[in-house]
Amino acid sequence: MSSEGVRSALWLKLREQLEMTRVEIKMARPLLVLLLLVVLVMQGCLTTAKKVLPLNDRPPRIALVLGGGSSRGFAHVGVIRVLEQEKIPIDMIVGTSVGSLIGAIYAANPNSFELEWLAFELEKDDIFDFSILSSKTGPVKGNKLEKFITEHVKIRHIEEMKIPYYAMAVDLNTGESVVLEKGPVELAVRASASIPGIFTPLNINDRILVDGGVNGSIAPETAREKGADIVIAVNIGKDITNYETGNIVQITLQAIDIMGKRIDEYKNRQADILIEPEVGNVGTMDFSKKKELMVAGIEAGQKAIPAIKAAIAKWYTTPVAQR
C-alpha cells in the first residue's frame, strides 16, 4: 500500500476513535450531572446540620414576682391559686412590700388553700402597731408584722424556704435596691414592707432599710439576676386612683403609689408575662374587701394562663443560643 493509502487508513481509524469517544462522553454526561447534584445536596445537608442548634430539654426556671400595694396584695392570693390549679411550677418568688409578705407565706408552705385561709384571717391590726413614741421615724413600729410572720411562717430562715425566696428593700441612705436572701424571714418581710414615713426603718447589717417599693413595686430584674428563664410579674398598682387620702398614712401610701407607677411603666416591660388584677376600686388600706381582691386576682390569673403556657412551650422549641 502506498504511503498515501496508509495515511488515509490512519486518518479513518482516528476519526472512528474520536467518534466513539464523543459518544461515550455524551452517554456519561447525565451520570456526571447526577453525581454533581448528589454532591451538592450532601454538602447542603452538612451545612444545614452545622447550623442546627441544640434545644434545651431541661424545664425553664419560672419566677413569680409579687408587687407592693398594701391591702391590694390580697389579689396575689388569687393569682397563686390559679397558678397552682393549672400546675404552673414556681421555682422562685421575688416579693416587694406586701408581695414579700404573701410570697414568704407561700414559699414556706406552697399550699394555696392554706394561704387563702390565713389571708382571710389577716386584719389591719395584725400588722400595724401605731405608737406615738416611735413617731420620730415612723408611727408604726413593725413589731406586730414581725410577730405575725414568726407565728404563721414556720420556717425561720430564708435559706430554708421550700421555694427560693427574695425580698426587696431599699437602702435609705444610698437609694440602692437590696435583695434579702439570707437570714430571718420576719426581718426580711419587715424591711421590705417598711413604708417610709409610716413604718420605722429597719437596720440590717448596718444598712437602714425601707420598703422595696421605693424603687418600683415589682422587681423582674432581680428574678433575671437569680437565673429565671420565664418571669411572671403581678403588678397590683395598675390603677392608682384613690380618694381615701384623709390622713398622713393614706397620703403617704398614695404618694408612693404615684411615684411607683412611673417606675413600673419601665419595669413591666422586663416581665415575660404581666398580670394586672383590676383592683383600682379598693383603697390601699381597705382590709374589708379581701374576697373581692382575691377574685380579681383569680380572674387576672386565668386570663394569663394561655400566655404562660405559650412561653413554656416556646422555651422547649427555642435553640439554646437564641435565649
| Dist. CA 53–CA 139, nearest whole Å | 58
Catalytic pick among 97, 100, 192, 194: 97
Burial profile 129-149: b = 16 or more Cβ within 10 angstroms, e = fewer: beeeebeeebbbbbebbbebb
User: Is 211 noted as a catalytic residue in this protein?
Assistant: yes
Q: Which of helix, strand or coil describes residue 87? A: coil
Contact 234, 67 (CB under 8 A): yes
Catalytic pick among 211, 264, 272, 286: 211
Contact 230, 310 (CB under 8 A): no
| Dist. CA 255–CA 70, nearest whole Å | 13
Burial of 220 (0-12, 13-18, 19+ CB in 10 A): buried
Helical (H) or strand (E) element with 273 = strand 273-275
Number of Cβ within a 10 Å radius of residue 206: 5
At which residue does the C-alpha cell 410570697 appear?
Answer: 103
User: Is 97 noted as a catalytic residue in this protein?
Assistant: yes
Q: Where are the alpha helices (DSSP H) in the chain?
A: 3-51, 74-85, 98-108, 112-121, 143-152, 185-192, 220-225, 248-267, 290-317
Burial of 240 (0-12, 13-18, 19+ CB in 10 A): middle
Residues near 198 by beta carbon (within 8 Å), at least 6 away in sequence: 138, 139, 140, 248, 249, 252, 253
> Taking the alpha carbons of 182, 184, 187, 188 in that order, is the dihedral positive or negative?
positive
Helical (H) or strand (E) element with 96 = strand 92-96
Active-site residue numbers? 97, 211
